[in-house]
């Protein structure tokens, strides 16, 4: 088989894996079928797999030569509770209300592809661990694996991850030293007023009017309480009432989240939001309950690992397609929890620029991972292993593999 045929077969294999994951999405801590299939693929490469880490998570390790360096390549397995609206796709989700609308199906396939390349070539000296984690979307999976002694049982010197980004040209790779993705905090505001007949509002304490004032007032926190040079976001995303069309409700619940990069800003947002909610409710004679929880920590890349990622990306896609100082984004990722324990790097890979395939936003009911970037991502992750771990020069690579 010539090289071009082998590459075509590799690309097709990655696409087959990705489409299989896409058809059968599973949400956080329920990725039993997804986890089993990915583990079986790695076992088919001759690797030993340790299952049940932090729930449905697992680890497979590949060692070559006598090197002592150890790196981790991470993939997340969970889907979203979003009903896919793409019936024309042959690989569309068969599970109502669930879809891989964030591209985790593609991330898993890229890590499997990197494992395939490394197992076949064995052209590194050290150990690579393939870490498949559950429940990224709600920020629980990485913490669960860490709490389940992931790094005590499977220590790594560094860890690397990647996420597709619609809006960036397909196959381009971007990263940065320091903060690359924000923290996420969630809030719930309970407004207790006094319900009544819609025709007699003067007999009520209308929580809808109060909620409207609160939503608008919260928009002033970032614009008037946070330094303009410091990134922060407050988003009210859900509103619920116990009313009906001809009745003013007695209760309203507002839910949403905030994004920021430092504990000081997190504390400022929480304090100002609480004061505004309680103050507006008090002014109207209503009662207020304010809940604020910390869900995701910021994702902060280690400079030395960023250099490794840039070198690997440049080797695969060329310097013109690598951005080593991308602007920080306000999205969140629980990879940040791993980076609080071990050094590492997280990078973005373009899914498609505006107007091109792959540009549909993440978490959209018609989003789909761009299959064209699968081999690029797989080769990039494999190249990180070669870049970080000295290459073994041996005529008999079959003697260089050992399982850990």
pLDDT score recorded for residue 25: 98
pLDDT score recorded for residue 393: 59
pLDDT score recorded for residue 402: 44
Count other C-beta atoms under 10 Å from residue 32's C-beta. 12
Domain boundary among 296, 326, 342: 296
Residues 309 and 284 in one domain: no
Tell me: is residue 91 an annotated ligand-binding position: no
| Domain, as residue range, for 36 | 3-180+300-403
Indicate whether this model's pTM tops 0.75. Answer: yes
- Compute the distance between CA of residue 363 and CA of residue 18 in angstroms, rounded to an integer: 17
Tell me: is residue 104 an annotated ligand-binding position: yes
Tell me: is residue 64 an annotated ligand-binding position: no
pLDDT score recorded for residue 4: 78
Taking each helix axis from N to C terminus, what angle separates 32-44 and 104-121, rounded to the nearest 10 degrees?
20
Exposure class string for 313-341: b at 16+ Cβ within 10 A, else e: bbbbbeeebbbbebebbbbbbbbbbbbee
| List of the chain residues with pLDDT < 70 | 1-3, 392-404
Tell me: is residue 76 an annotated ligand-binding position: no
Count other C-beta atoms under 10 Å from residue 89's C-beta. 13
Catalytic residue check, 136? yes
Residues 274 and 343 in one domain: no
Count other C-beta atoms under 10 Å from residue 228's C-beta. 9
Residues 28 and 158 in one domain: yes
Residues 234 and 282 in one domain: yes
Domain boundary among 244, 275, 296: 296
Residues 204 and 171 in one domain: no
pLDDT score recorded for residue 135: 98
CB-CB contact of 248 with 197 (8 Å): yes
pLDDT score recorded for residue 132: 98
DSSP 81-129: S-----TT-TT--SSTT-B--SSHHHHHHHHHHHHHHHHHH--SSEEEE
Of 78, 105, 184, 371, which one is the catalytic site residue? 78
Tell me: is residue 163 an annotated ligand-binding position: yes
Residues 65 and 31 in one domain: yes
Q: Given phi > 0 = left and psi -120 to 50 = alpha, else beta, which region is 211? A: alpha
- Per residue in 194-241, pLDDT (tens digit) is 999 999 999 999 999 999 999 999 999 999 999 999 999 999 999 999
pLDDT score recorded for residue 392: 52
Rg for the chain, CA atoms, rounded? 24
């Amino acid at each position: 088989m010539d090289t071009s045929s082998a590459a075509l077969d590799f690309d097709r294999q990655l696409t087959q894996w990705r489409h299989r994951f896409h058809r059968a999405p599973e949400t956080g801590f329920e990725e039993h079928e997804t986890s089993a299939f990915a583990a079986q693929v790695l076992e088919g490469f001759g690797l030993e797999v340790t299952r049940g880490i932090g729930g449905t998570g697992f680890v497979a390790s590949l060692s070559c030569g006598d090197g002592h360096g150890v790196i981790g390549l991470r993939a997340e397995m969970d889907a979203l509770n979003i009903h896919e609206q793409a019936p024309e796709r042959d690989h569309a989700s068969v599970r109502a209300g669930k879809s891989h609308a964030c591209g985790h199906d593609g991330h898993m396939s890229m890590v499997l592809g990197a494992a395939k390349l490394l197992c076949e070539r064995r052209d590194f000296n050290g150990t690579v661990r393939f870490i498949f984690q559950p429940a990224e979307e709600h920020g629980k999976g990485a913490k669960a694996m860490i709490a389940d002694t992931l790094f005590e049982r499977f220590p790594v010197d560094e860890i690397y991850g990647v996420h597709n980004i619609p809006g960036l040209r397909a196959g381009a790779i971007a990263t940065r030293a320091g903060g690359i993705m924000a923290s996420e905090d969630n809030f719930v505001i309970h407004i207790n007023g006094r319900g009544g007949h819609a025709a007699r509002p003067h007999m009520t304490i209308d929580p809808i009017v109060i909620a409207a004032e609160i939503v608008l007032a919260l928009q002033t926190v970032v614009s008037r309480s946070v330094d303009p040079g410091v990134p922060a976001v407050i988003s009210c995303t859900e509103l619920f009432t116990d009313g009906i069309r001809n009745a003013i409700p007695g209760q309203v619940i507002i839910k949403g989240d905030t994004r920021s990069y430092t504990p000081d800003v997190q504390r400022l947002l929480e304090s100002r939001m609480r004061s505004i909610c309680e103050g507006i409710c008090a002014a109207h004679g209503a009662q207020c309950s304010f809940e604020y929880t910390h869900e995701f920590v910021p994702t902060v890349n280690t400079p030395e690992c960023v250099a490794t990622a840039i070198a690997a990306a440049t080797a695969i896609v060329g310097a013109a397609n690598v951005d080593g100082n991308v602007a920080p984004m306000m999205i969140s990722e629980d990879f940040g929890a791993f980076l609080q324990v071990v050094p590492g790097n997280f990078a973005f890979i373009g899914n498609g620029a505006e107007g091109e395939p792959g540009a549909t936003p993440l978490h959209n009911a018609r989003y789909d991972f761009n299959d064209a970037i699968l081999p690029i991502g797989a080769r990039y992750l494999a190249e990180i292993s070669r870049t970080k771990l000295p290459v073994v020069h041996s005529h008999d690579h079959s003697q260089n593999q050992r399982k850990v």
